[in-house]
Amino acid sequence: MASSNLTTPAPAVNSAGVPVTTPNQGALDAVAKGSIPTGRAMWVMMALMLGSNLLASFNQSLMNVALDDVATEFHVSLSVANWMVLGFTIVAATTITMAASLLKRYGIRRVMAFGYLASLAGSLLGFFAWNFFPMLVARLVQALTAGLFFPVVTSVILTMAPTGKKGIMLAINSGVIGAGLAFAPLVAGLLITYTGLRTLFLVPAVMSLALLVLGYFFLHNIYQRQNRPIDALSVVLSFAGLGLFIYGLNEVTRMLVPSLAFMAAGAVVIGLFARRQFRIENPLLNLSPLKHRNFVVGETLMMLGYMGSIYMSLLVPLYLEGTAGYSAFIAGCLLAAPILCYAGACFVGGRIEDKHGIWPLVPAGFLLILVAFIGMKAFSSIGIALAVVACAAAAYIGVGLVFPTLKASDLGVLPPAIYSFGSSIHSTLVQIAGSVGSALFVGIMSADADRLMATGVTKASAYASGFSHTVIISIVILVVALAGSIVFARMMAKHNQRPNKA
C-alpha cells in the first residue's frame, strides 16, 4: 500500500469537554508510525469493522425470539433454554477481558480472522445440532466473536477515524449494533416459523464467510505487536465467577438456598479475580478506572439501563409468542421497529450530548423508559399486545438516549492514559448486565409459568402472569435508576463546566 494512504490520528475533544473522539496517548504510542490507512482504504476497512459488529450483534440476539421454540423442541424449561443466551453472554464477557491483550499480541488481522472462523464454526455446529447440548456449544463458540469484536472495533474506530469524525463514527457503530439487534429477531422469526429452528444459524454462517474473505484483502494491522502474556488463572477466575453467579441467579426462584450459595461463591471468585488484577504485572483486565467515582456511578446506571433493553429483547417476545399467540416471525417483525427506534435514538442522543452534555438528557431517557414500562404493565394486564409493543418502542428510544450517552460521559471522566481500560471495563459490564438481566427476568418468568401450568393454568395465562411479575421488578429497578441518574447528571454537568470557568 502506498505511503500516501497512511497517516497518524490527531487528538480532539467535543464541545462538552468530553474526549470521546480522541484516542488516548497510550493508544497513539501503540500505533505503528505511518500504519493507518487513509482515503478509500481507511473507509473500506472502517466499513468492514462495522460489518463485523453487525455480525457480532446478530449472533448475540439470534436466539431472542427462539427461546420458546428451544424449550418446546428440546423439551426443557424456559430457564434451561435461556442458557442459549446466558452461556453466550458469560463467554462473551470473559473473552472481552482478554481482547486487549490478544489484540496487542496477535494484531487485528489474526484476531478478526479468529472471530470470523469462530462464528462460522459455531453457526455450522448449530445448523447440524442433533439435540440441546451441541446447540448450546454452538452458541458458546459464537460468543467468542462478540467478545472479541465489540471492544476491538471500538478501539479501531477511535484510532482510525479522522479528527472530527470519531464521534459520529461511534454513533454509527451504535446504530449498526442496533440494526443487528433489529435484524436478527426478524430473520430468526421468519426462518423458525417456516423452515425450522436450526436454519437460523445459516445467516451468520454466510455473513462470517463473506467477512473472512473480505478481511483477508482489506484488514490492516495498525497497532505495533507486543509479546504480552495472558494470565490463564485470571481467565479461569473470570469464567468461573460469572458462571457460578449467573447460574444461581437463573435458578433463584426454583431452589432458593442452593442458588444463593452459588451466587455467593460466584461473588467470592469474582472478588479474587479483581484482587488478582491489581497484583499482577500484566492484568487481564486493568481495573484502575474503577478508582474514579464518577466512572463507577455512570457505569452502574448504564448497566441498569441496559437491563431494561435485555428485558424487552427477551421477555416481550415470550409475551408475544406465549400469551398473544403470535408466531416467532410475527414477533420478530413487531420487534424490528422498536429496535430500529433504539438505533435512531443513539444518533439523536449523541448529537444532543455533544452540544449540551448529559443534563437533562439521561434523566429524561430513564423517565421515558420508566413510563413505557408502566404502560407495558397496564396493557399486558388487559391483553393489548400491540400497545405493549408500542410501549417497548418508547422504552427502546429511552435506552437509545441513555446508553451511548452514558458511555461517552463515563469514559470522558477518565485520564487519557487509562481510557482504553475503561472501554474494556464498559464492554465487560454490558455483557454482565445482559447476563444478570436475562437470568433474573427469564428465570422468574420461567418459574412462574412452570408453577402455574403445573396447577392446570393455560400456557397463555401462565406466561401473562410471569410477564406481569417481571415488569413490576423492572419498574422498581428503573425508579432507582431514575433517581440516581438525576444526581449523576447534575454532578457531570458541574464537572464539564469546570474547564470553561478556568
Report the CATH number at residue 155. Answer: 1.20.1250.20
Range of the domain at 187: 26-226
Tell me whether residue 3 is in a domain: no
Q: Do residue 322 and residue 460 come from a single domain?
A: yes
Average pLDDT over residues 355-371: 84
Dihedral of CA atoms 385, 387, 391, 392 in degrees, nearest 10, equals 30
**Residue 18: per-residue pLDDT:** 36
Condensed to tens digits (0 to 9), the pLDDT of residues 48-73 reads 999 999 999 889 888 877 888 898 89
pLDDT of residue 288 exceeding 50: yes
Q: Tell me if 204 sits within 8 A of 239, measured CB to CB.
A: no
Whether residue 23 is preceded by a cis peptide bond, meaning omega within 30 degrees of 0, is: no
Q: Do residue 238 and residue 360 come from a single domain?
A: no
Please, which residues have CB within 8 angstroms of residue 283's CB and are 6 or more apart in sequence?
Answer: 231, 234, 276, 277
Average pLDDT over residues 266-284: 89
**Residue 152: per-residue pLDDT:** 87
Residue that terminates a domain, selected from 226, 258, 273: 226
**Residue 31: per-residue pLDDT:** 54
Cell 462460522 -> residue: 120
* C-alpha distances in Å from residue 51, one per residue of 70, 133, 171, 177, 337: 28, 29, 14, 9, 21
Tell me whether residue 80 is in a domain: yes
Q: How confident is the model at residue 167 (pLDDT cuts 50, 70, 90)?
A: low
Strand partners, 6: 37
**Residue 215: per-residue pLDDT:** 92
Mean per-residue pLDDT of the chain: 81
Quick count: other Cβ atoms within 10 Å of Cβ 223?
A: 19
Q: Do residue 246 and residue 219 come from a single domain?
A: no
Better-predicted residue by pLDDT, 439 or 390 = 390
**Residue 323: per-residue pLDDT:** 83
User: Which amino acid does the sequence have at 343?
Assistant: A
Condensed to tens digits (0 to 9), the pLDDT of residues 237-264 reads 988 988 888 888 777 777 778 888 998 9
Average pLDDT over residues 201-224: 91
Burial label for 291, CB within 10 Å (0-12, 13-18, 19+), is: exposed
pLDDT of residue 5 exceeding 70: no
Residue 397 phi, psi dihedral angles, 5° rounding:
-60, -45
* CA nearest to 151, candidates 433, 429, 434, 354: 429
- Percent of the residues in the chain that have a pLDDT greater than 70, as a whole number: 87
Average pLDDT over residues 220-248: 84
DSSP letters, 321-337, are: HHTS---HHHHHHHHHH
Q: Do residue 405 and residue 261 come from a single domain?
A: no
Tell me whether residue 326 is in a domain: yes
34 phi-psi bin (left φ>0, alpha ψ -120 to 50, beta other): left
Q: Tell me if 307 sits within 8 A of 498, measured CB to CB.
A: no
- The CA distance from 273 to 243, in Å, is 13
Tell me whether residue 296 is in a domain: yes
Tell me whether residue 4 is in a domain: no
Q: Do residue 66 and residue 184 come from a single domain?
A: yes
**Residue 9: per-residue pLDDT:** 38
Tell me whether residue 379 is in a domain: yes
Q: How confident is the model at residue 140 (pLDDT cuts 50, 70, 90)?
A: very high
Buried b (16+ CB within 10 A) or exposed e, 311-320: bbbbbbbbbb
* Set of cell numbers at residue 12: 480532539
Q: How confident is the model at residue 276 (pLDDT cuts 50, 70, 90)?
A: very high
Better-predicted residue by pLDDT, 192 or 256 = 192
Decide: helix, strand or coil at residue 36.
strand
Q: How confident is the model at residue 4 (pLDDT cuts 50, 70, 90)?
A: very low
Average pLDDT over residues 146-168: 78
**Residue 341: per-residue pLDDT:** 84
- The CA distance from 95 to 235, in Å, is 8
Better-predicted residue by pLDDT, 357 or 78 = 78
**Residue 283: per-residue pLDDT:** 85
**Residue 400: per-residue pLDDT:** 83
Q: Do residue 81 and residue 194 come from a single domain?
A: yes
Q: Do residue 114 and residue 204 come from a single domain?
A: yes
Please, which residues have CB within 8 angstroms of residue 481's CB and are 6 or more apart in sequence?
Answer: 301, 304, 305, 366
Q: Do residue 294 and residue 382 come from a single domain?
A: yes
Q: Do residue 274 and residue 336 come from a single domain?
A: no
Q: Do residue 215 and residue 333 come from a single domain?
A: no
Tell me whether residue 7 is in a domain: no
* CA nearest to 157, candidates 146, 147, 170, 168: 170
Tell me whether residue 9 is in a domain: no
Domain count, the chain: 3
Q: Do residue 374 and residue 247 come from a single domain?
A: no
Q: Tell me if 41 sits within 8 A of 5, measured CB to CB.
A: yes
- The CA distance from 344 to 160, in Å, is 24
Q: Do residue 160 and residue 190 come from a single domain?
A: yes
Residue that terminates a domain, selected from 264, 283, 302: 283
The sign of the CA dihedral 253, 257, 263, 267 is: positive
- The CA distance from 63 to 498, in Å, is 46
Residue that terminates a domain, selected from 241, 261, 283: 283
- Percent of the residues in the chain that have a pLDDT greater than 90, as a whole number: 22
pLDDT of residue 16 exceeding 60: no
Quick count: other Cβ atoms within 10 Å of Cβ 421?
A: 21
Q: How open is the CA angle 423-437-427, to the nearest 5 degrees?
A: 10
Listed range (1-5, 69-73, 386-390, 434-438) with the worst mean pLDDT: 1-5
Q: How confident is the model at residue 10 (pLDDT cuts 50, 70, 90)?
A: very low
**Residue 233: per-residue pLDDT:** 92
Pairing relationship of beta strands 6-7 and 36-37 according to DSSP bridges: antiparallel
